[in-house]
Chains A and B, each alone.
Chain A
Amino acid sequence: MAITLSASDVPSAPLSPRLTPAQVWGIVLLAPYLLVFLAFVVYPVCYGLWLARAPANYVALYNDPIFARAAVNTLIFLVIGINIKMLIALFLSGFFAQQRTWIKWLSVIFILPWAMPSIPTILSVRFMLNPEWGMVNHIIFNLTGADGPNWLNDPTVALTMAIAVHIWKSLPFWTLILITGRLAIPQDLFEASEVDGASWWQKFRYITWPSMQTLYITCTLLSMIWTLGDFNSVYLLTGGGPADLTHVLSTLGIRYLRLDQLSLAMASIVCAMPFVLPLVYFMMKRLSR
């Protein structure tokens, strides 16, 4: 990588009066992506920032109780939801790394939520949670004789369910990544520790965790960035309701957009930037090494 860096970053290269035919081809082949990037990333982002420039927007956001609620919900989603998800993924990666035929088959099924589109599966969950006709409350009634809760009518429960749906959808992907990390650990370390009579916790604490720590932290941060962009889990399950109390920043932005308040939509996203940009910077440094 270091060689690539110095070869392409030599400042004199673009200044040289004559480009080799290969370099001309290089520029021609790079042009389509550059055009896409300029037209559909640079222009929208600049235009959006320009729309959100007036301080009045931020005052309006500050005074909108829905914004405050959405910011708190987003934090809960990121801090609690993501950590629970990644811990389960770490745990399951150990389970799926076991060499057994039935576990191999289970792993093939386990991928399904990731491969399937959000809309039918999340709507399916939404109906399951319907207080009158949903499967969940029918089962609760049959088992206990009592009515189940009105799952999506209480903001706390509804947000918890949205986090559960998010975990359902994205757990397979992260588990898969962590399995890859686990399989990269040399097996003889475990065999040696087995001889020494190490417990499973000691093996995890002294072999597995140290070798997976960096990967785990990277995955957690990347998952945070992407979860900020997860519109489906909340929108399709609760629509932001009840009473706009389960919005997160991504659904809130779209809500303002639908209400034709584009500046507010952009401003609500700009508010997340102090949080997003350090993460992005960190990830870029890690990945472009």
Chain B
Amino acid sequence: MKCAGGCPINFVMEHNNYEILRMIQLGEKDKVYQSNTPWLCVGCKTCAVRCPNGIDTSKVMDTIKMETIAENKIPASHYNVKLFYELFLDSMKGFPVIGGEGRGYELGLMGLYKLCTGTYLADMNLGKEMTKRGKMPFLPHNALKRRKGEVKKIFQRAKEKKAR
């Protein structure tokens, strides 16, 4: 299997990507939801370009992640990955008072992630070095001026579509 053979993360994955596809075919939903494989998939598309059947497995992994979240079946051990995704997108919606709609806000994201996970000391030194070199701005990028609210509306529509 060239797809799984080339996967750079397979050394920590509980199941290879083709095994996940087989589980889906067999309707073993819960086994798929429990697997750490989708949450470790980095979406590098090695499998996608190698698949002789034209299946983009990393896209399948994205869909599994979405369904696991929607059905609220995400195992605690994968929670941090989901949390990081959520906070990343939240940081694009902007913050009260300091703003920052539309773009990622590295410092805010890292601060919130640390607060939520209690990993205060991890990467502390790195953060300091980045700030020293001007690579971690204190304030979010306030970019949307004439087009304020557009990105917020995109997120609003996404929420409405999910509720349907």
**Same complex origin of A and B:** no
B residues with a Cβ closer than 8 A to A are none
